[in-house]
Structures are given as C-alpha cells and as structure tokens.
Structure 1
C-alpha cells in the first residue's frame, strides 16, 4: 500500500492572527503599516510568521483591493540591456531609482524593441504610472501608455504639450556649442546624429528628414546647429548629416568615415551624442588625423568616458533628470495643467576642439 504524503499547508493571515491572539488587521499592519505597531509587537508577528511559514500578504490580492501596484513603469523603446549599457541611460535610471527609493515604491522596466510594434508589455505592466524615456512621437508603445488611466511623465522626447515633461533645451544647448565652433573659425563641418525615426536609415539625411524627425531631441539639436551656421553664411543644405540607427561607438566610427570619405576637407565633426563622438575620435586616429588641429570633434551628454577623453561637449544632468521625472510622477498633488521641468546644461570646453590650421596660421601671420 502506498503511503500518503503529508504536505504542510502554509499558514494564512487568519491562522497567524489566531496563533498570536491578535486581530488580522494587526498582522496586516506588521507588513503594510509598521508605524501602527510597537517595535516589539511587530517583531513578534514577523518571527511567528517565519516559524509558521507565512509568506506575507498576497501582493496581487492587495493590489486588487487598493488599486495600487506599488511600482513605477519605465518605458524605453530599446532592448532591456540598453538601460544597463548606455552611460546616459544608466545615469537616468539611477536618478529615477533614487526617487522611487525615497517614495518607497518599486521600479519596473518595460522594454520595447524599436523594430517591433507589439505593445503587450505595456498592457501587462502592473504599475501606478509611467515614465517614458526618450521615444519618438509616433511610437505605438507611447500610444499604449497614454491609453492607460495612470499618470505619465515624458523625459526628453516627445514634447506632447499636454503631458508632464522633464528635459533640457536641446536646441539652445547645441546652438551654444555651434557658436563656440564658429568663434574658432569653423565653417566646413559635418554632422553625425542618432536615429531620427523608427525606420532604419544608416546614411545621409535629407533636409526633409531632419525637419520632420519623430525623435524631437535629435531634431532640436540639428536645428540648433543649422540656425547658428546659417547665420554666418553656411549653406545648411550642403552640410553632410549622417544618421545611425544603433547608438554605439562603432556606429560613430562608421558614420565619421562616411562623412570624411565624402569631404576630407571638413574641419569639424559635430556629433549629437558622446558615444558617437568617441567613435569618431577613434576613426580620426585610425586615419592619422590630429585632433583637434586636423579635425575638431564634439559630442553631447557629458558622460564620464567623454570627460576622460577630453571631449568638447555639452554636459546635461542625466541623474537629476531621472530623479526629477520620478518626483514629478510620484507627486500626488492635484494639478489642473501639465507641468514641465527644464534643467540647465553646461558647455564643456575640452581638448578636442581648436581653430582650423588655416585660421591659426592667418591669426599668427596675417592675411
């Protein structure tokens, strides 16, 4: 005859309360409202729970009862590993995590592959609100987020006008960098930019694509450059602008090669991110070019690797940006209109920008 196996049934909130001789509310408070109990009573509840094998309140049942998930969702239209690989994304994620820690809430990453339109991850996410990190204005995952009846904060892009937003003035920041290069004497330039839309385009960018880009940050940075150089007589239609879909150092190197192959006489290569600029620096070294005297290279973001390389760039407060987005989302105060937080940037004058050789010689020896 087979022996019947005795399986110990896990303790429940009711059985734990009976064991302790307290109410179920007291047991629940030990987990959810510890300030309502004395330290000694809470310790006794938790110790007895461990002894009896009580796992704690069911988070799913609790969320159904309270209609609160206890977590913030971060939507980024990249593969999940991007959040832990890209330096700017890492800084932003740290700032957002700090805001969540301060509020005692969790953080759920909701990755969305930029080349897929499956929005199931957004619909499944059990969160009390979303922070949307740098997505295009036509992204289906963004549309799915906005359909959810929860608060949303957009960071960087897109600027929807009717949704809370945290960002910087990208156009003004890049315009400031452009004016610095103009003051050094640069007129023959090339541009390497991050992706402008959801479709893959690893090549030259038309004026129409620049002006209609669905990634607002890149559109604003290019517009800031175009405005500054047009003011000093540069025909922007003749400036080579090369786009890369993948944000990687290798992408910056290949894009720089594409620009330099087309026009070896350019004196400055302006990149819309530090990652791309680091790749451009590597390509310049590979070609035996002296940076900054043969070629000026600039970036944008102010990541640690750029500082170590002495890159001339624009530094933005990525950690504070994440923290501000989290605070804005978690602020439960009633509000009647969308809020916007614009953070300051800083032009960093590194060692990768200088006057072109001809300008230097003219300054030393005259016309």
Structure 2
C-alpha cells in the first residue's frame, strides 16, 4: 500500500497540514522542520502530493466550488448534505479556502454557465448524474476536481473520486431483516433518474437507472433478497416524498412487514405515515434507513440505519484537492449497520 501524507504526519507527530506545507508552502515552516519532514518522507517512500491536487495550492480565487444536483435550499436543509457540507467547510477553513455553492439543474438556473464561470480554484462534485451539465462544464476547466459519491470514473478515466460502500451497507441492512424473519419487504428509492417520477418500479424502469448510488444500494439489497422486494420510486428525498409509497405498501392487499429506505429522510417519512395509519413500529412494521444523520437517533422509535461517514467525506474531499490526502482509485469508505428500535421480527 502506498505511503500517504497522513502516514508521514503520524510518524512525525505533526498535523497533515504541516506536512503539506513542507511541499506546497515552505515559507510557513522553519528550514529545520521542513528538512526533517522531507527526510522522513523520503525514508518512508512518500512521493509527495499528487501534482494535479497540488495545483490547488497555487490558487488565485481562494475558493472551492461545491456542485450539487439539487437547489441550494434543499442542500442546506437535507441532513445528509448538511453534514457533508460541514466537513467541507471545516477542512476548507483549515486551508483558508472559501466555499462557492453551485446549484444543479433542478434549481431552474443554468448549471453549465455557473460551473463554467465560477471563480474557484477547484471543484467538489457532490452526488450528481453522469450527464449533469455543471459536471461536464467543470471537467472541461483545467482545475482540480474530485467527485464524491457519483459519478464514479469509468474504466480508464482519471478524475479523483471518493465514495462509500453503498452496496455492502445495503446488503447488511437487508440481511438484518432476513435474519429477523421478514419476507414481505419493500425498498424505497428517492430517484432512479433525474425527475420526479413516483410509483412501483418494474424491470424496465430498474434497467434505466442512471444514479450510481441508487444502483449500488439496490444491488446490495437484491444480493440478499433476490428479485422479491417491491421497489418504489418516490420522486424525491424528503419525508413527504415517502408518504404515498408507505401508504400504498401498508394498506394494499398484501402489506409489507418491513421497509428498506434508501435514505434516513425517506425512512422518517415511512415512520410518520405508519403512525398516522395506526401501525406499530416495530411490532407491525420494521424500518431501516441509510446515512445515520443525527435525526435518526431522535425518531420515535430511534431508527435502525446504515451509518456512513458524511462529515468525513467532506473533509477528505478537500484534503484530496489540497494534496493533504492521496485518493486511491475508486476509493470507498466503510459503512456499518446501526441497530436501534425500528426493527424486530415480523408479526405472527
């Protein structure tokens, strides 16, 4: 495994910023400290920051652009996006970088123009479709870019990427329900493609999926459940978007006993609808989310969910751009199931 900047920092007992400064901002360090760092790095086999990422330290605008697929009001209200932004802001502040937030096509503006003209020294692209016009415009600019979550680079391409083990986390959630004895299970997904389509998902619609995170999580669920779960597309990621699906799945002729929601926000919508309809959770219905945002521990009852390192993703994305962290090809951070009080064996 390649030695990283963080390995050097740990070995010397200094911050990763100090090691980065030895390469990129030597005026910040004494000659003695800089030579000590460079000597240790050479002995450990560290080759120095990636040249593409290191280009960011020659910044002129002093700002990073964060590109979303949603409007900014949603990005600043969605708990998962907000945690990610907290991580970006914290790391950006450490590097004296401002943030420029760029909305996606659903904001009604010109995403391509915004990305093409933004006064930034690098881009963090957060969970967008592969054909997102802002993403395509950002890639055409000769400045560093890192993609978080999606789209992952196809084979042979070279943009920097950071994600999580979506497939493995979804499989953990599905296995938990199967081990409890559930067989009638539904999956709620926010979107499979750009747009606001709602309703059950058939084989043709499933094959049309363009969002990588949705595709990976569905693959994880189905690796355990096979083709048996009902899949319902909600047309958005808010709790309100989950309500019609939850109502249909709980009041049909063969109601489900468990729901796998692709986000905690959708899971919260299921819990609210179940309460309105008089279903007990987890006595009548088990629910599992994905993300483990702070609200997940405060639902009634507290939500079983898959925890992903949302804030850490933001920190790591900035560190990759500034050269403080080396991005491994296709890097995916680990996730884990957090079992709380919304899951139990199915009713008799």
Measured against the shorter chain, the TM-score band is: 0.7 to 0.9
Cα distance between partner residues in 1 of 2:328 and 2:339: 35
Mean Cα displacement is larger for which, 213-222 or 245-254?
245-254
Normalised TM-score (structure 1): 0.74
1:296 equivalent to 2:292? Answer no
Per-residue CA deviations over 1:18-37 (Å, capped at 9, x if unaligned) read: xxxxxxxxxxxxxxx9979x
Per-residue CA deviations over 1:317-345 (Å, capped at 9, x if unaligned) read: 10001000111111189x9x974432121
Cα distance between partner residues in 2 of 1:169 and 1:35: 37
- Residue of structure 2 equivalent to 1:307: 297
**Larger relative contact order (CA 8 Å, sep ≥ 6):** 2
- Residue of structure 1 equivalent to 2:204: 208
1:147 equivalent to 2:137? Answer no
Contact 2:139-2:145 within 8 A present in 1 as well = yes
Contact 1:133-1:157 within 8 A present in 2 as well = yes
Give runs of aligned pairs for residues 1-367 of structure 1, distance below 5 A.
Answer: 68-114=60-106, 116=108, 118=110, 119-161=112-154, 162-230=158-226, 236=227, 239-309=229-299, 310-331=302-323, 339-358=329-348
Cα distance between partner residues in 2 of 1:99 and 1:250: 33
Alpha-carbon distance change, 112 to 304 in structure 1, aligned in 2, over 3 angstroms: same
Contact 1:138-1:214 within 8 A present in 2 as well = no
Structure 1 consecutive aligned stretches of length 4 or more whose deviation exceeds 6 Å: 33-36
> Bigger radius of gyration, 1 or 2?
1
Cα distance between partner residues in 2 of 1:326 and 1:150: 14
Deviation at 1:207, TM superposition (A): 2.2
| 3-state SS of paired residue (1:357) | coil
Contact 1:210-1:222 within 8 A present in 2 as well = no
Unaligned runs of 5+ in 2: 1-25, 30-57
Deviation at 1:270, TM superposition (A): 1.1
Contact 2:193-2:208 within 8 A present in 1 as well = no
Deviation at 1:254, TM superposition (A): 2.0
Contact 1:163-1:339 within 8 A present in 2 as well = no
Deviation at 1:313, TM superposition (A): 0.5
Cα distance between partner residues in 2 of 1:156 and 1:34: 35
Deviation at 1:135, TM superposition (A): 0.6
Deviation at 1:144, TM superposition (A): 1.2
Unaligned runs of 5+ in 1: 1-32, 37-65, 231-235, 359-367
Contact 1:211-1:219 within 8 A present in 2 as well = no
How many residues in Structure 1 have an aligned counterpart in Structure 2? 289
| 3-state SS of paired residue (2:201) | coil
Per-residue CA deviations over 1:29-74 (Å, capped at 9, x if unaligned) read: xxxx9979xxxxxxxxxxxxxxxxxxxxxxxxxxxxx772111100
Deviation at 1:190, TM superposition (A): 1.1
State the superposition RMSD in angstroms.
2.3
Cα distance between partner residues in 1 of 2:184 and 2:200: 17
| 3-state SS of paired residue (2:85) | helix
Normalised TM-score (structure 2): 0.78
Per-residue CA deviations over 1:96-154 (Å, capped at 9, x if unaligned) read: 11111111111110112337573111111011110000111122221111111111101
